[in-house]
Amino acid sequence: MVFFRTYSGEQDLPYIMHLVQSELSEPYVIYTFRYFLHQWPHLSFLAYPSDAANSDPIGVIVCKQSMHRDKSNRGYIAMLSVSKDWRKRGIASALVKNSLDAMKEDGVEEIVLETEYDNSAALSLYESLGFIREKRLYRFYLNGKDAFRLVLTVPPTERDSDSSSSGSSLEVRRGYRAIRVSQLPYDSDEEVSTR
């Protein structure tokens, strides 16, 4: 089983920073993490290999939600990272779905993110969840790489409802969402970090 829970405070920060900094190309400072995590803790999830209190997280997603140009309620996926030893087990998909569900419950109209143009695993993951490529952003990252901006439009019927698509494999337990990894759809291209 893999358990998911929302960000719960500063004690989670070192684990999140380690996961993100070891897997993503962008060098985020602690204030960037705090900007997202302190304002939108309910949109950021950590994945654990069991419900044991001593286990370290194996995956994380960091998101935000705000009004875009004062006219649309927009969600944003800032960071997604899964430990190399735990990839190709559906964990990244489950993290994204948890965040999408939380944003939909808050009435989001669209969700956006950027990923490196050559990150085929991330592109495959997000496109399998309904995201489309909106545009290419040239030299977007500090390493000089281009990015694709991906967008998911949320139909009005999916807003303000519990649209959990994990079926019977998802359960809520003591503040955790538990999902059996073996029951998740397997995606051979899902070796992902967002960047």
The token pair at 169 is 């494999």
Question: Under 8 Å CB-to-CB from 84, ≥6 apart: which residues?
Answer: 23
- Average pLDDT per consecutive 10 residues, the chain (195 residues; last block may be shorter): 92 94 84 94 93 81 90 94 94 97 95 96 97 96 93 81 44 44 44 47
Has residue 193 been placed in a domain?
A: no
Question: Under 8 Å CB-to-CB from 113, ≥6 apart: which residues?
Answer: 76, 77, 78, 126, 131, 149, 150, 194
Residue 87 CA to residue 55 CA, distance in Å, equals: 17
pLDDT tens string 121-160: 999 999 999 999 999 999 999 889 999 999 999 988 766 5
Largest alpha-carbon pair distance within the chain? Answer: 44
Has residue 128 been placed in a domain?
A: yes
Has residue 133 been placed in a domain?
A: yes
Domain count, the chain: 1
> Across the strands, what pairs with 50?
none
- Provide the CATH number for the domain around residue 92: 3.40.630.30
Has residue 194 been placed in a domain?
A: no
- Find the domain containing 172 and state its range: 2-183
What pLDDT does 71 receive?
79
Has residue 36 been placed in a domain?
A: yes
The token pair at 8 is 């719960």
Has residue 25 been placed in a domain?
A: yes
Has residue 13 been placed in a domain?
A: yes
What pLDDT does 171 receive?
36
